[in-house]
Amino acid sequence: MKQLKGVFSLFIPLILILIFSVAESSQDNSNIKVLRFHKFQRNKQHYQDGISSCFHLKSRREEGSTTMEIKHRDFCTKNKRHDDLEKRRLNLDADQVKFLQYRMKNLISGELQTLSNTQIPLSSGTRLEILNYVITMKLGGKNMTVIVDTGSDLTWVQCKPCRLCYNQQEPIFNPSTSLSYQSITCNSSACKSMQEATGNFGTCAYSPSTCNYYVSYGDGSYTRGELATERLDIGNSHVNNFVFGCGRSNKGLFGSASGLMGLGKSDLSLVSQTSKFYDGVFSYCLPSTDAGESGSLTLGRKTSVYRNTSPISYTRMVQNPQLSSFYMLNLTGISIGGVHLNNLSFGENGVLIDSGTVITRLPPSIYRAMKAEFVKQFSGFLSAPGFSILDTCFNLSSYKKVNIPSVKLQFEGNAELNVDVNGVFYLVKSDGSQACLAFASLMYEDEIPIIGNYQQKNNRVVYDTMFSQVGFAEEKCSY
Mean pLDDT along residues 435-462: 95
Report how far residue 23's alpha carbon sits from residue 33's, in angstroms, rounded to the nearest whole number.
17
C-beta pairs of 30-34 under 8 Å, 24+ apart in sequence: 30/338, 30/406, 31/337, 31/338, 31/405, 31/406, 32/337, 32/403, 32/404, 32/405, 32/406, 33/403, 33/404, 33/405, 33/406, 33/421, 33/424, 34/401, 34/402, 34/403, 34/404, 34/421
Backbone region of residue 86 per phi and psi (left: phi > 0; alpha: psi in -120 to 50; beta: other values): alpha
Report how far residue 386's alpha carbon sits from residue 388's, in angstroms, rounded to the nearest whole number.
7
83 confidence band (pLDDT: 50, 70, 90) = low
53 confidence band (pLDDT: 50, 70, 90) = low
279 as an active site residue: the answer is no
**Which amino acid, one-letter code, is at 80?**
K
Look at residues 391, 325, 270 and name the one whose alpha carbon lies nearest to residue 103. 325
Residue 51: what pLDDT? 47
Residue 369: what pLDDT? 95
> Is pLDDT above 90 for 7?
no
* Contact partners, residue 257, CB within 8 Å, separation at least 6: 73, 134, 145, 146, 147, 168, 169
Question: 313 or 222: which carries more pLDDT confidence?
Answer: 313
* Percent of residues in the chain assigned helix, strand, coil, to nearest 5: 25, 30, 40
Look at residues 232, 260, 230, 238 and name the one whose alpha carbon lies nearest to residue 61. 238
Share of the chain above pLDDT 70, in %: 78
Return the CATH number of 307-474, one of 2.40.30.10, 2.40.70.10, 3.40.50.2300, 3.30.565.10: 2.40.70.10
222 confidence band (pLDDT: 50, 70, 90) = confident
**Which amino acid, one-letter code, is at 34?**
V
354 as an active site residue: the answer is yes
Let me know: does 126 contact 218? Beta carbons within 8 Å: no
Mean pLDDT along residues 217-240: 84
Q: Among 140-144, 200-204, 231-235, which stretch is predicted with the lowest mean pLDDT?
A: 200-204
Residue 413: what pLDDT? 96
Residue 17: what pLDDT? 38
275 confidence band (pLDDT: 50, 70, 90) = very high
> Is pLDDT above 90 for 201?
no
Look at residues 292, 276, 294 and name the one whose alpha carbon lies nearest to residue 284. 294
Q: Choose the catalytic residue: 219, 267, 354, 420.
A: 354
Task: Read off the pLDDT of residues 185-198 as tens digits, 9 standing for 90 and up.
Answer: 888 888 877 755 56
Q: Among 67-81, 220-234, 365-379, 458-472, which stretch is predicted with the lowest mean pLDDT?
A: 67-81
Q: What is the pTM of this model?
A: 0.85
> Is pLDDT above 70 for 335?
yes
Mean pLDDT along residues 140-145: 92
CA distances from 438 to 162, 274, 294 (A): 40, 35, 22
Task: Read off the pLDDT of residues 57-73 as tens digits, 9 standing for 90 and up.
Answer: 888 888 888 998 888 76
Residue 44: what pLDDT? 37
Look at residues 366, 353, 326, 330 and name the one whose alpha carbon lies nearest to residue 108. 326
Report how far residue 378's alpha carbon sits from residue 381's, in angstroms, rounded to the nearest whole number.
7
- Cβ–Cβ contacts within 10 Å for residue 398, how many? 10
Look at residues 183, 194, 169 and name the one whose alpha carbon lies nearest to residue 227. 183
**Which amino acid, one-letter code, is at 78?**
K
Q: Choose the catalytic residue: 93, 95, 149, 153.
A: 149
Report how far residue 85's alpha carbon sits from residue 66's, in angstroms, rounded to the nearest whole number.
33
Residue 99: what pLDDT? 79
> Is pLDDT above 70 for 52?
no
Report how far residue 367's alpha carbon sits from residue 429's, in angstroms, rounded to the nearest whole number.
23
Residue ranges, CATH 2.40.70.10, the chain? 45-79+114-298, 307-474
Give the CB-side neighbour count of residue 128, counting CA atoms within 13 A: 28
Report how far residue 219's alpha carbon sits from residue 254's, in angstroms, rounded to the nearest whole number.
13
Q: What is the CA radius of gyration of the chain?
A: 24
* Contact partners, residue 349, CB within 8 Å, separation at least 6: 104, 108, 318, 320, 323, 328, 448
φ, ψ of residue 298 to 5 degrees: the values are -115, 130
Question: 447 or 110: which carries more pLDDT confidence?
Answer: 447
Backbone region of residue 470 per phi and psi (left: phi > 0; alpha: psi in -120 to 50; beta: other values): beta
Let me know: does 445 contact 285? Beta carbons within 8 Å: no
Looking at domain 45-79+114-298, what is its CATH homologous superfamily? Acid Proteases (2.40.70.10)
Look at residues 226, 127, 125 and name the one whose alpha carbon lies nearest to residue 175. 226
